[in-house]
Each structure stands twice: as C-alpha cells, then as structure tokens.
Chains A and B, each alone.
Chain A
Amino acid sequence: MNPPLTCTVTRRLLHPYLDGVLSDLERRDVEQHVAGCAGCRQAFVALERTALLVECLPRVAAPPALLARTMAAVRAEHRRARPTAWHPLASLVVVLAAVLGAATVVAASGEPLLATLDAALADPSEVFPTLASLAVEAQLSVVLGSSALLVAGAVALVHLMRGELSAAAAG
C-alpha cells in the first residue's frame, strides 16, 4: 500500500483526476487524501467549478447562410486548383466565341484563313492547333482536351467556321 499523498502531489493530480485519466489506484489515493484535507477539497471544488462554468456556456449556432457561402468558396477552390478540367462544352463555347471573332477577321484577311481551315479539316490532328491559334488571334486562351467529344465538336466547328467564312467572303 502506498504512503498517503502530500498536498503538493495531490494538487497536481487534481487536474488529471478531474479529466478522469488517473488509474484506479491513483484515483483512490487522491480521494483518500481529499476526504481528509479541507484545503485540497476546496481546491478541487474550485477547479471542478471552473471547468463546469466553461462547459455550461451556451453554444452559438452557425448562421444558416454559412454552409452555402462555404461551399461556394470550396467550389471556387476546386476550380482554381484544376484549370484544365473544363467541361467539354465550355471549350466549345469559347471556340465558338473565337469563331465569331474570326468571322470579323476574315473580312479583312479573306483567303489565307480559308486555306488554313481546309488544311485543318484534311488532317484532324491539325484541328486543335488551328483552333487554338485562331482563338489566340481572337485574344482568347483556350485549353482543349483530347477527348473524342471535343475532337468531334471541334471538327464540326471548323466546318461551321468554313461555312461562315465562305458566306462572309461571298457576301
């Protein structure tokens, strides 16, 4: 059996005692001392009360709009970190804007642009570089993926552009 605890040791043990992390033996030793020592009993009561006063504080709830706000920020972070993960349609929309831009270019430059597009149609691997350079000319930056959908869409667009340009050149 251990010798009884001193007040000094007991005071230090009051904290883990309060937190419930003492072994059964240690807990019994502390309780034995506290039972016979008014000073340590008072110290424990004060410590326990301090903890209880904090634990009983009411909680504030997050305002209802915070979830939406946070998720908007999270989605923005998601997009920021993954700039090339565009939806295929987004790329097409940008290229279409480039088409509209290119249509005004043709009025001034005419033939060479048509030839460029014909070459692109002849060789599908040329489609992306062509569209990309046209987009650059129209002062837009386009990140094009290599999915089949994009290829098909881009080829369709080149046809469209060629149709537009022929019409513009004729009219």
Chain B
Amino acid sequence: MQELEAALIEAARSDPEAFAEVVLRYQDRLYNYLYRMTGSREDAQDLTQEAFVRAYRALPRFNLEAPFRPWLYKIATNLAINHLKGRKPSIVLEEYVPSPPNEYSPERQVEAAETQRLVSQAIAQLPEHYRSVVLLRHVEELSYEEIARTLDLPLGTAKVRLHRARAALQEKLTALGLHGAADRWAKDDATVTP
C-alpha cells in the first residue's frame, strides 16, 4: 500500500491528472474530518479543496519515504484551525447526519439519532486542539505516531493530549446525560450500541 501510494505521489508531481487518484482516495475522509472540525458542509468543501491544492503545490517538497496520510491530514488540520480562529469557541453542526436505517425498533432508532446528535454536539464543544485529536484517533483511526506527525508534536505529548481530550469529551457526554442513556441500553443487551 505504501509502495503504491509512493508511486502515485511521484507520478502526481509532474502530472496533475495522476493527482486525481490521490484526491479520490482521500477526499471522503478529509471531507468528513473537516466537517466534524468546522460543523459546516460548505466550509468542509472549501477546506477539502484547499487542502488538496496546497498538497499539490507542496508535492515536489514531500519526502516520498515519509507517510503521506499524516502529511495530508496536517495540511487539513492547519487549515481547519486557522479557519476556526477568531470564531465563537464552540461550533454547532449545521445539521446532524442521519444514521442509515437498521433493524432496530423505531424507538431505538430515535434514541440512537438523539445520541448521535449529542455526541456530535459534545465533540463540537471541545476546544479545537482536543477536537482534532479525538477525531484523528476515533474517526480517522490514525495511530499515535501518525497523530504526532499530523499535529507536529512529540509522541509523548500527542498521547497526553489524546488522553486529556478523551477525558474532556467524557465529561461533556456525562453533562449531556449520555452515559446514563448508554447504561439503559446496557441493561437491555450485553453490548453497548448507540
């Protein structure tokens, strides 16, 4: 995978059309990440596009030995943080994302949608540097090392920030009454499923 990606990126350096493959591979993930960072679909679109343009511009300087994903996420994160500067401290998601229909009862689905709304709100209320690390770990599934590279932090600092971010999120979820709701489901069946 790393070899293939390095080959793609090398080709993209001199041929913008080869870069389309890179865009295809990452645009959904970047868009989703930037949407959760900014709370706005329109901003997410603009920032995703800008992230790819900047990546393309900087491609000649990119070290092919280095992992590409954290480098791209770093560009996106910096764009998001700069975009959010000077704005109100907590963003509000402009609309929540409907969950796909499933075999749960309607009551359960309503509860699930409400839970999802509250989780989204809690994330949106986190300070940006906590929000980004939670999203990078639990939505984008980056490793500690990748997170450290993305945020330009020493590994130890990145870990501590993640732990604190999770603790902060947990507090917000409790304040929003969420952990209580989760307990209720835990009584219904063995697994916790939001």
Binding site for B on A (CB under 8 A): 12, 15-16, 19, 21, 46-47, 49-63, 66-67, 69-71, 73-75, 77-78, 81
Contact at B144–A19, with CB atoms within 8 Å? yes
Contact at B16–A74, with CB atoms within 8 Å? yes
Chain B interface residue bracket vs A:
35 or more
Closest CB in chain B relative to A31 CB, distance in Å: 19
Contact at A70–B48, with CB atoms within 8 Å? yes
Contact at A51–B27, with CB atoms within 8 Å? no
Task: Please name the residue on chain B nearest to A19 by beta carbon.
Answer: B144
Given contacts A51-B138, A63-B45, contact A71 B16 (CB under 8 A): yes
Cα–Cα, bound, A6→B120 (Å): 34
- B135 CB contacts on chain A under 8 angstroms: 54
- B137 CB contacts on chain A under 8 angstroms: 19
- B170 CB contacts on chain A under 8 angstroms: 46-47, 50
Contact at A50–B173, with CB atoms within 8 Å? yes
Cα–Cα, bound, A58→B102 (Å): 13
Closest CB in chain B relative to A77 CB, distance in Å: 5
Interface residues of B in 90-138 (CB under 8 A from A): 97-100, 115-116, 119-120, 123, 134-135, 137-138
Kindly specify which of B52-60, B63-71, B79-87 makes contact with the partner chain: B52-60
The answer to the question of B149 belonging to the interface, with a C-beta cut-off of 8 Å to chain A, is no
Contact at A57–B97, with CB atoms within 8 Å? yes
Which of B16, B27, B98, B119 contacts A75, CB < 8 Å? B16
Which of B23, B31, B35, B166 contacts A71, CB < 8 Å? B23
Which of B31, B45, B116, B182 contacts A49, CB < 8 Å? B182
Cα–Cα, bound, A51→B122 (Å): 13
- B163 CB contacts on chain A under 8 angstroms: 12, 15
- A69 CB contacts on chain B under 8 angstroms: 45, 49
Which of A19, A60, A71 contacts B97, CB < 8 Å? A60
Contact at A66–B31, with CB atoms within 8 Å? yes
Closest CB in chain A relative to B166 CB, distance in Å: 6
- A67 CB contacts on chain B under 8 angstroms: 20, 23-24, 27
Contact at A74–B23, with CB atoms within 8 Å? yes
